[in-house]
Amino acid sequence: MGDDLISIEHLGSANVPGLGAETIINILPTVPDMDAAHACESAMSNRGYRFSIDRSDCWS
């Protein structure tokens, strides 16, 4: 997903021992800024992921 990709984290209940797994895998690509996040969109979509940026709880 480009040189700006810092890491990919797995989120969600399937990542918590003892909780049941879901049929959806939630991943979080970590990038330095929102421009880099938007640049990941096509790379994620091309791999079958649904891209979503939800900043509703962002304080900045």
Q: Residue 24 pLDDT > 80, yes or no? A: no
Q: Which residues contact 4 (CB under 8 A, 6 or more apart)?
A: 31, 32, 36, 39, 40
Average pLDDT on 24-31 reads 81
What values do phi and psi take at 11, rounded to 5? Answer: -115, 165
Q: Which residues contact 28 (CB under 8 A, 6 or more apart)?
A: 8, 9, 10, 11
Q: Per-residue pLDDT tens for 38-49?
A: 887 878 888 888
How much is the pTM?
0.58
